[in-house]
Amino acid sequence: MIKLNEISTKPPLGVDKKQLKDLTKQYQERIGDLNEILRAEGKQSLLVILQGMDGSGKDGAVKKVFKECTHFNVDVYAFKKPTEIEFAHDFLWRVHQQVPAKGNIKIFNRSHYEDILIQRVHGWIDEERVQNRMDAINAFEKLLAFDNGTTILKFYLHLSYEQQALELQERIDDPEKHWKHNANDWKEREHWKEYMACYEYAINNSTIPWHITPVDERWYRDYLISKKVCEAMEAMDLKYPDGKLK
C-alpha cells in the first residue's frame, strides 16, 4: 500500500547531480533514436501519462524528456474541463480518441484519472461511481496494452505542499510565466489532503503500476522520467522493418 506522505519529494541524499544530468542527456538522445525505430516499425505505441498537482511540472517534463524526438509521431494532449459534447458521452469517450496509433508516442498532460480525482474531491460523483470508473479505467488500459500493443507508463509527479506554493507564486512574480497563473489553482490547493487521498486511491487500485516521481528538484524529475521511458522503449524490442537495430 503506497502512502504518499511516506515518500520524499526530493532527491536522495548524496546523489551526484552532475552525473545524473549527464545520464539524462544520454537517455534523451536514446529516446530520440528509439522513437525513429518506433515510427519506422509501426507495430507498437507508447502512452505516457503525467498526473500531479498544479505546479508539479508536467509541461516541463514533456519539454525535457522528449526534446530529441521528431514531432512527426509525438503528440501531447492536455485534458481540461470536458465540453458539453464530451459530458454527453461516457467519461472515457474523449480519452479513447486521443490514444496513440501504432508507431506513435502520445503524452497525456493529465488524463482519464481526472474523472476520479477532481470530481471525487468536490463530491460531484459518489463512491460507487468512483469504483465503477476505476474498474473501467483498468479495463481500458488493459485493452490498450494487450489488444493494441501499447506500452503504458504512468507518472505521478510527487510535489510537496511547500514547493507548490513557490511554483504558484512564481507564476505571479515572473512575467514570462504569468500566462500560467490561474487563481483557481490556489483554491484547489485548499483541498490538498483530499487530493492526496484520491491520488493514493488511484495509485493503489491501478492494474498498471504508477511511478512515483519526486519533482521538487526538476533535474531529478527529468532524470527519473527519462530513465523509465528509455528503459520501457528498450524493452519494446523495436526493430526497423528489415529487422536491423539502430
pLDDT digits (tens, 9 = 90+) for 144-162: 999 889 999 999 999 999 9
CB-CB contact of 76 with 49 (8 Å): no
pTM: 0.95
Grid coordinates of 125:
460523483
Grid coordinates of 183:
487563481
- Using a pLDDT cut of 70, give the percent of the chain over it: 98
Grid coordinates of 166:
513557490
Residues in the chain with pLDDT < 70? 243-246
Q: What is the rounded distance in angstroms from the CA atom of residue 149 to the CA atom of residue 62? A: 22
Q: What is the rounded distance in angstroms from the CA atom of residue 31 to the CA atom of residue 229? A: 7
Fold of 4-8+32-235: Rossmann fold (3.40.50)
What does DSSP assign to residue 7? S
Using alpha carbons, list the distances in angstroms from residue 2 to 172, 186, 203, 210: 34, 26, 8, 10
CB-CB contact of 124 with 114 (8 Å): no
Could you report the per-residue pLDDT of 19-61, keeping only the tens digit for each?
A: 999 999 999 999 999 999 999 999 999 999 999 999 999 999 9
